Structure 1
Amino acid sequence: MLWISLVLFVAGSALAQVPFLGVCPNMEIMMNFEVEKYVGKWYEAERYFALFEFGGKCVTANYNLSENGSVQIMNKQISALTGVASSIEGIARLIGRSDDPKLTVTFPSLPLPVDAPYWILDTDYKSYAVVWSCTNFGVFSIRNAWILTREPRPPVAVLEKAYQVIDRNNISRAYFIRTDQKNCPATY
């Protein structure tokens, strides 16, 4: 059983996030989430380390509501190392009620398309969103967090709102990496 947990842990780590000893902590999520207000373009301001974003700059996420109620995702970034742009399409689905901010995200083009948690801890819809993801692998958990903003270089006051959400949920700020949003193409 330990061998299986270790394989799952390594596989999860290969896709991303920060490994922690212990299970996923409870998070305080927002109430009355409105997916219609959340859709649109977001810029990644900060994030936990994720292998799939290694060396990425100008990172954006564009969310569009589908007729079937799912959310179409288009994530884009430019490699700071090579200057090559890349993108990946995904699908997000609400897990529970339509006003619950817990979603599951899948990127079908990945070799191992798995459902990943995508919880909006808080957003004001117009300036910031704090997103959390955590998956248990036995005695380990793999965690990721993002601060998304509607502007590529948000004012400090906007980031302070996001930090309040992070602090309220006891998410360590030590693992956050600022995303480079300078010198990005205007159409990106």
Structure 2
Amino acid sequence: MVRAAILFLVVSVFISCGQNTQKNSGMDVSTVKALDLDRYLGTWYEIARFDHSFERNLEGVTATYSMRGDGKIKVVNQGYKGSLDGELKRAVGKAKLTSDPGKLKVSFFWFFYSDYLVLELDTDYRWVLIGSSSPNYLWILSRTPQLDEATKQHILDKAASRGYDTSKLIWVKQKPESSQ
């Protein structure tokens, strides 16, 4: 019975991955041509995201990347449930590099990996636009808890030109920089 359930789960994941790729065929998911991992590591603030169950109702969300001893990247995503004073929720995963510098594989569960696509990256590594092979996932991350309106609009324009529906973005509440 347990074997059947695991087999069903694995098959379902592979089928859904295939469907997501097909749905994404009209979108531009090309990644950056170069990624300096040393500059990319550290803490990023989540500015906006598409809604999905694993981050629903989280505020003050950050993603922190650091190197592990095995050459993979430690990924720590955390945020506060319901409000900036809510209960801290934390997920620890791992990421691995691929032959494409802007494409990583990330896992928070066992050996199931998902695409982590660095679509756009500021030359000074101040902000990044992240997607996946599915059009259902999109994130705007920043080195600071807030972005100015001109920078936000610039990133939104880039996402829209790639085929993303930016009206679906949820803008994440962050504590002001002075209270971090």
TM-score by length of 1: 0.75
Deviation digits for residues 56-108 of structure 1, max 9, x if unmatched?
000000111234332111111000168111111111111215xx11000011x
Aligned partners of 1:52, 1:46: CA distance in 2, in Å? 14
- Report what 1:115 is aligned to: 113
Of all paired residues, the percent bearing the same amino acid is 22
* Structure 1 residue 164: Cα displacement: 2.9
Change (3 A) 1:92 1:186: farther
Aligned partners of 1:54, 1:23: CA distance in 2, in Å? 23
Q: Which runs of 5+ in 2 are unaligned?
A: 1-7
CA RMSD between the two structures: 3.0
Q: Which runs of 4+ in 1 moved over 2 A?
A: 19-26, 65-69, 182-187
Query: 2:34 pairs with 25, 32, 35, which one?
Result: 32
Change (3 A) 1:101 1:60: same
- Report what 1:41 is aligned to: 43
- Report what 1:94 is aligned to: 97
Could you say what secondary structure the match of 2:30 adopts? coil
Change (3 A) 1:22 1:126: closer
- Report what 2:155 is aligned to: 162
TM-score by length of 2: 0.78
Q: Which runs of 5+ in 1 are unaligned?
A: 13-18, 136-141
Aligned length: 165
